[in-house]
Amino acid sequence: MSATLRRRDWLKQSSLAALGLGFGLPALAKTGLTRRSTDFFNTENSLINLGSNENPYGISPKAKQAIIDTIPFSNRYAFNLPDLMGFRATLAKFYNVAPENVLLTAGSSIVLDLFPRYFYKPGGNVVTANPTFFILPDTAKKIGFSVNAVPVGSDRGIDLQGMLSAINNDTQLAYLVNPNNPTGTLLKPAAMKDFCMEASKKTTVLIDEAYLDFIDAPDNESMIPLAASNPNIFVTRTFSKIHGMAGLRIGYVIGHADSIKKLDTSNFTESWVAVSDLSAAAAMASLKDEEHRLQSKTKNAAAREYTIKSLQALNIKPIPSYTNFILFPLGKTYEGNFAEFMLKKNITLRQMDCLGEKHGRVSIGTMEEMQQFIKVMKETWKG
């Protein structure tokens, strides 16, 4: 079957495509095709995937080698493999905390689903920003929390004062993503520290730093040291973004040793069997490959700058981004769903209905992919 034919089949079968909701794992599963979809996602043949904030440069070659070296031991649990038993300690050392401060998880989405379940109290509420990453607020609502999502400010940045004011005696959890998804905005470390200290006097605080490593110091300052010493503050992170390991499913929570122990022995699976041998081996190797992370960060920044400037040249007003995606208002150019429209142009991205109007969210792919995206925008944008 030719690539074009297969692509056509894939488009036809994908019900999510019709809804313009983008392409998660379930969408691919529904296609009936295998997940070996790289031939659909390159510029030459067909679809350019700019929908899921993935790292287009792939995993570190050292991580790849570590997976190959670990395959012969895949019949063993990680706790029987001395090297892999060191994963928690390796991660802890990397962040200058103790192994007892670290909870390993299979990706960080599961953290965002389990946190509201763990902290649920009838009559309780969760405070977060609007817009922000959907999983935690969605789960919170589903299980009966009321969610107080404080609108971002006119500069599109998270309103920390507004969030602090929204916290009351019934607040069980405050969830803050920094840099935020989908806006891409950043809060400076000093403001974040003040927020964490204030909010944690009244409730549990979860800071999601999925995208923090796309920016440089001094803005790239994690709240991990605060979390390790304060039982009411947690940080969650993932290997899915800067490490390029979305498919390997590795995330973690860092917090006070007592709090981590409670999580580990409750809703959360015992942390040393949560992550597969291959993923743990890859993560440990990737931590050591700073060069690979630097390359991803540098290439992402260059492609992001190109995209922002090109959109601005069309008189579009993208929100300044500190991440590997950009959110921009769509005005009135595109009738119907923007994601569906772009799919017909062989590009997957997201439409976000937020901030009072239709927005597009485009992930930063390679420079060539972004040039292709801009080409389509130039051809179709009516200003």
Ligand X SMILES: Cc1ncc(COP(=O)(O)O)c(C=O)c1O
Which residues bind to ligand X, rule: CB under 6 A? 53, 107-109, 133, 177, 181, 208, 210, 238, 240, 246, 251
Closest to ligand X by CB, 129 vs 347, is: 129
Closest to ligand X by CB, 349 vs 374, is: 349
Q: How far apart are CA 285 and CA 289, in angstroms?
A: 7
**Alpha helices, DSSP H only, in 14-159?**
15-19, 25-30, 61-70, 82-85, 87-94, 109-118, 135-142
Sheet arrangement for strand 251-254: 102-105, 251-254, 233-238, 204-208, 171-177, 125-130, 146-151
Q: Which residue has the tokens 């520290």?
A: 193
Nearest approach, Cβ of 6 to ligand X (angstroms)? 27
Q: How far apart are CA 111 and CA 108, in angstroms?
A: 5
Closest to ligand X by CB, 183 vs 310, is: 183
Closest to ligand X by CB, 17 vs 104, is: 104
Nearest approach, Cβ of 132 to ligand X (angstroms)? 8
Nearest approach, Cβ of 109 to ligand X (angstroms)? 3
Q: How far apart are CA 357 and CA 370, in angstroms?
A: 24
Closest to ligand X by CB, 124 vs 182, is: 182
Closest to ligand X by CB, 60 vs 310, is: 60
Nearest approach, Cβ of 281 to ligand X (angstroms)? 18
At 207 the three-state DSSP class reads strand
Contact 189, 221 (CB under 8 A): yes
Closest to ligand X by CB, 22 vs 251, is: 251
Nearest approach, Cβ of 288 to ligand X (angstroms)? 20
Q: How far apart are CA 375 and CA 358, in angstroms?
A: 21
User: At residue 370, what is the residue type?
Assistant: M
Nearest approach, Cβ of 355 to ligand X (angstroms)? 17
The dihedrals phi and psi of 243, each to the nearest 5 degrees, come to -80, -10
Nearest approach, Cβ of 138 to ligand X (angstroms)? 13
Classify burial at 376, counting beta carbons within 10 Å of its beta carbon; exposed 0-12, middle 13-18, buried 19 or more. Answer: middle
Q: How far apart are CA 323 and CA 353, in angstroms?
A: 20
Nearest approach, Cβ of 274 to ligand X (angstroms)? 12
* C-alpha 166: how far from chain center: 25
Closest to ligand X by CB, 233 vs 377, is: 233
* C-alpha 28: how far from chain center: 19
